[in-house]
Structure 1
Amino acid sequence: MMTTKPLPDGGLSRGLLLLMSVATGLAVAGNYFAQPLLDLIGRELGLGPSLAALVVTAAQGGYALGLILLVPLGDLVERRRLAVSLYAATAVFLLVSATAANGTVLLASTALTALTSVGAQVVVPFAVTLADPAERGRVVGTVMTGLMLGLLLARTASGALSELGGWRTVYWANAVLMALMAVLLRVFLPRLGGDGRRLSYPGLLRSTVAMFRYEPLLRWRAGIAALDMASFSVLWTALAFLLVRPPYGWSESTIGLFGLVGAAGALTATVAGRLADRGYVQAVTGAGTLLLMASWLPIAAGARSLVWLLAGVLVLDLAHQAVLNSNQNVLYALRPEARNRINSAFLTSFFVGGAAGSALTSVVWVHGGWTGVCVLGGTLSAGSVALWLLERITVDRAAAKRPEISVHQGLGPTPTTSTTSTTSTN
């Protein structure tokens, strides 16, 4: 039975934090099962490489739509009920994917599964709200470790399960787990209401979009995140196409083992979170973007060298996690009362970037092969470095002109009551 013993700092209980971390991982896993199975799914359903890659694009596009339409509801309605409803709906749509008779049905069910799997992004700010502010970075790191492990280990699990019972087995298994998770969240999550008195649903959506206008840091961080996720998606979309061909010629289950490499990088999330709590969030972002760009050199050499490919994938996943965690720590400190809306705006940009990266990959792979894919990934990650440098220059200049304003906060007027953050961004 889950313990309700509080953490030593009096924040979130260990058992509840673990549950929320597992819940986020299972929710996002369903969006990534198909990546190592694209060749297998394409053969069974009669889809070519470009059409098969659209399964990944549908997942990321659906997730982006859910982020903008559903996640802001966490600031409006009771959050436990919202999270449980989304998890239950995800289980239903996974069952549709498991029984899909053709590519059209699979694409539609994949998009719907992704739409409701944003329940994970209701759980993340839920955990941040329950946590002690001094431990926010560590809590974000822990929950996001669960999310990233789900994202990455989904590939390993899907490869193994497909060998045992075909690619449909993966979706059956995740449907059962999501239904179980809906029950556990209903039992153990505390009730946490939104502020339905102030905003209608259309007003809530307008307020979410307006966050980009009023929060300069949100604009910068959303751009960095979009390019980061696009580069990340380029690798994981193209990897299956590389590994099924010479000189590798791997099976789907072996390809799925690459998720274990990425999982090692995801485990650094708590380290990044602790560094953020100590005031090094900007250093984490800068180092992460530079490592992301550098990772594409060994990845390119990995066309014929497994050692270089493994090294590049490990560095890329480590860098990706560091950039994501530091971005979230900056943004969650902006406006606690609008945390779900900020999360929605930020992560919509993040996953739109991922969808764009996957879509570009399907085209570049056909015309440029692995070399073209690596040029694409390196270019996108270089863009994230450039945006981070421009953000530092712009924000530092603004802070010098108006020293009374924290660089953690936006410099424009606030549409809602703002809570000043004391988190350092050195």
Structure 2
Amino acid sequence: MHADQLHTPTAAMAAGIPRGLVGLLACASGLSVANVYYAQPLLDQVAVDFAISPAAVGGVITATQVGSVLALLLLVPLGDQVNRRTLMLAQAGALIAGLICVGMTRSPVLMLLAMLTIGLLGTAMTQGLIAFAATAALPQERGRVVGTVQGAVVIGLLLSRLAAGLIADLAGWRWVYLGSGLVMMVLALILYHVLPSQRPSGAPMPYGRLVLSMFTLLREDRVLQIRGMLALFIFAVLGIFWSALVFLLTQAPYSFSHTAIGTLGLAGVVGALAATRAGIRADKGQGQRTTGGSLGLLLLAWLALWLTPHSLAWLIIGVIILDLGAQAIHVTNQSMIFNARPDSHSRIVGCYMLFYAIGSGLGALASTALYAAYGWTGVCALGAGVSLAALGFWLITLPLMPGATDASRQPVT
């Protein structure tokens, strides 16, 4: 398919989305989201470099999540009103500037502001690309396409830890961000030459009304409300685990390098790849069944992770199960919320990812503080408690979901 055929969502919906374009969107999404998570295995080095206490250094992760929230409220909705290609290129340029700033600054305040910027632009690009894919896909292939792109996002997130650890051990943590800036420059050039235009199909509206309309979606869309809260729970769980892991493994008796810690992300890729099939199951109306089983996996994962001090094999098992369960829910969530309102995909994903960002930020902040006070056992207790709360929330809200199919929608009454 020629790029010009995708200039509008209508044309894209009529012809579907080419596999090559799906691959480009997946790759771009994975590289974009990685920037938001590079800091997780580097927290101890950042703490030393900027003289930040271990208990407070979780604020670095929180800064990126604050940026993510701002992106979802202020930038992502623009995809429903302006050409998404133009928006992606502008955001890529600003993200590159933020990455270079983090790599060069010696000021803790400027570093935190730059991390906020990375969270802002990395999130905006990632979610804009997912909305692009959802809009370009045919309805019957939307779960598969979104699952593919979302799978790349998860792989980029997980491999970001390996890349960050390897580069930090070889050249220092600052080159993680400087190197990423160079990679994003190359990506921006590729997007400029390859990414087709995708103009909005909805009626123009003032920017203030556009932003406020997100709250209307949140108030009226029951599926978005329930699946959003599940996202908050599951990404709090992931934030709890990954933010505390670096402190456990860099201390005795492990004393692992950052490369070794980052390699653990490869175990999570196994689960993430398996979870991409959740979108296909959602297309077939099996989203709730997938959700229940995946929530059970989260609880099982924390049992394995609690046994990590006895054997690192339990850690690897726990990582695989944790990412499989969490990402299966995430893919199912997105497949369900995208099944209506084609003129609002950017705002829908923006609303949904607000829950994601809040959960990740709270999980990271609580995890580092709890580890300082109670160690790994306290972290596992917190993660299991949040997972159990997610399961309870799903069971309570199951009767409130539309009953005909997983993807149907009805306003809150």
Give me the TM-score of the superposition, normalised by structure 2.
0.93
What is the match of residue 80 of structure 2?
Answer: 75
Asked if 1:171 is matched to 2:177, the reply is: yes
Shift of 1:195: 5.1
1:22 and 2:21 aligned: no
Query: Equivalent of 1:203, from 205, 209, 215?
Result: 209
Find out whether 1:369 has 2:378 as its counterpart.
Answer: no
76-85 vs 184-193, greater mean Cα deviation: 184-193
Q: Is the 8 A contact 1:4 1:14 kept in 2?
A: no
Aligned residue runs from structure 1 range 277-426, under 5 A: 277-395=283-401, 399=403, 408-412=407-411
| RMSD of aligned Cα (Å) | 2.2
Amino acid at match of 1:360: A
* 1:295-350 alpha-carbon deviations (Å, 9 max, x no partner): 11011111332011111111001111101000001100032111111110010111
Matched with 2:43 is 38
Q: Is 1:135 paired with 2:135? A: no
Shift of 1:201: 0.7
Cα distance in 2 for partners of 1:197, 1:250 equals: 55
Partner secondary structure for residue 412 of structure 1: coil
Task: Provide the C-alpha distance between the structure 1 equivalents of 2:268 and 2:412, rounded to a whole number of angstroms.
Answer: 41
Contact 1:233–1:358, Cα closer than 8 Å, also in 2 = yes
Change (3 A) 1:197 1:329: closer
Q: Is the partner of 2:255 in helix, strand or coil? A: coil
Residue deviations 1:365-403 (CA, integer Å, cap 9, x gap): 11111111111111111111112112212226xx4xxx7
Does structure 1 residue 255 correspond to structure 2 residue 264? no
Q: Does the 8 A contact of 2:219 with 2:412 survive in 1?
A: no
- Report the counterpart of residue 89 of structure 2 in structure 1: 84
Q: Unaligned regions of 5+ residues in structure 2, if any?
A: 7-11
Deviation at 1:352, TM superposition (A): 0.7
String of CA shifts for 1:179-231, please: whole Å, max 9, x gaps: 22122222222211125743111101110111111111111111111011001
* Contact preservation (8 Å) 1:5, 1:13: no
Q: CA distance change for structure 1 residues 337 and 5 in 2, over 3 Å: closer, same or farther?
A: closer
Q: Of the candidates 223, 226, 249, which is equivalent to residue 229 of structure 2?
A: 223
Counterpart pick for 1:153 among 154, 159, 163: 159
**Structure 1 residue matching 2:276: 3-state secondary structure:** helix
Q: Matched residues in 1 for 2:195 and 2:229: separation?
A: 33
Deviation of 1:56 (Å): 1.2
Report the residue type matching 1:141 in the other structure: G
Q: SS of the residue aligned with 1:348?
A: helix
Deviates more, 1:101-110 or 1:27-36: 101-110
1:100 and 2:105 are equivalent in the alignment? yes
Given candidates 266, 277, 299, the residue that maps to 2:272 is 266
Give the whole-Å Cα distance in 2 for the aligned partners of 1:144 and 1:317: 13
- Per-residue deviation, 1:236: 0.3
Relative distance call for 1:387 and 1:121 in structure 2 (3 A) is same
Please say if 1:232 is aligned against 2:238: yes
CA distance in 1, matches of 2:406, 2:88: 32
Query: How far off is 1:359 after superposition?
Result: 1.0
TM superposition shift of 1:112: 0.6
| Alignment CA distance shift 1:202-1:194 (3 Å) | same
Aligned mates of 1:362, 1:42 — CA distance in 2: 12
* Residue segments in structure 1 that go unaligned for 5+ positions in a row: 415-426
Matched, 1:112 2:111: no
| Residue identity matched to 1:26 | L
Give the 3-state SS of the residue equivalent to 1:47 in structure 2. coil
Tell me by how many angstroms 1:60 deviates: 1.6
Aligned: 1:187 with 2:193: yes
Q: Which amino acid aligns with 2:106?
A: A
For 1:328 and 1:296, the matched residues in 2 are separated by: 25
Q: CA-to-partner distance for each residue in 1:101-158, whole Å, 9 max, x for gaps?
A: 1322221111111101121100101011111211111101110111111111000001
Classify the secondary structure of the residue corresponding to 1:30: helix
**Number of aligned pairs?**
405
Residue 83 of structure 1 aligns with an amino acid whose one-letter code is M
1:276 maps to 282
2:9 corresponds in structure 1 to: none
Determine the C-alpha separation between the residues in 2 that align with 1:413 and 1:45: 48
* Superposed displacement of residue 277, structure 1: 2.2
Equivalent residue for 1:422? none
In structure 2, how many angstroms separate the alpha carbons of the residues matched to 1:86 and 1:303? 43
